[in-house]
Structure formats: C-alpha cells, structure tokens
Amino acid sequence: MYLAMAAVELTAGPQAPHQRLDQNLLTDVLWACAEPAHRPEHMTVRAGDGRADLVLYSLADSERAAGAAALHGVMRALATSPMLSGWAAREVPLHPDPGLG
C-alpha cells in the first residue's frame, strides 16, 4: 500500500444552480463524503466558473484503486450535496495513453 494520487474533474450542467463553487466549502463537502475505508489522506481543490479540478490522495494498492475510491467519494458528494446539484464528475487519467495523439 502506498500514497496514490487520483484526479477528478467536476463540471456544471446548464441547470446547475451554482455555476461557481467555493473551494473551501467544496473541500469540506468532499471530506464529509469520504469513506474512511478508502483511506483518504489529502486533497487539493481548484474551482472556477462551471468547473472544479480535484486531486485526491489516498493509501491504496494501486492508482486504479485510488481512482475508484476518489470517484466513489465524489459521486457520493454529488448525490448528497444540494450545492452540487446539476454537476457531473469524471476521472481524469494521470498517465495518458501514449498511443493517443
């Protein structure tokens, strides 16, 4: 097990009541929705108009496991926080496929 990093991008849909999120409040919501079993350690949040970029660190067996844990926590936040109504999440690959581009 090691400290693994995962990246998630949040985007606001056109009907989202909040098109810009407060970084500190978003960080609090994400921590509140984190599962202790996923062993979260640290997160960095950067928010802008209609978008937020998240980098989440957890103790995991692999980057894939860290990514799944991060996305699970973010999806839980999307499902439970009215502030995130109308927002969507996607995991961002940290190591792009060298065969692309």
Structurally, the chain folds into a number of domains equal to 1
96 pLDDT higher than 90: no
Q: Is 79 within a domain?
A: yes
The pTM of the full predicted model, rounded to 2 decimals, is: 0.88
Burial code (b: 16+ CB inside 10 Å, e: under 16) for 17-55 equals ebeebeeeebbebbeebbeeebbbeebebebeebebebb
Instruction: Quote the CA–CA distance of 94 and 101 in Å, as a whole number.
Output: 15
Task: Say which CATH number the domain at 15 has.
Answer: 3.30.70.600
Q: Is 83 within a domain?
A: yes
Range in 11-15, 17-21, 57-61, 92-96 the model is least confident about: 92-96
Q: Is 34 within a domain?
A: yes
Residue 46: the pLDDT is 97
Q: Is 40 within a domain?
A: yes
What residues contact residue 59 under an 8 Å CB cut-off, 6+ apart? 1, 2, 3, 4, 39, 41
Q: Is 98 within a domain?
A: no
Q: Is 101 within a domain?
A: no
pLDDT, tens digit (0-9, with 9 covering 90-100), for 45-95: 999 999 999 999 999 998 889 999 999 999 999 999 999 999 999 999 887
**Domain span holding position 32:** 2-92
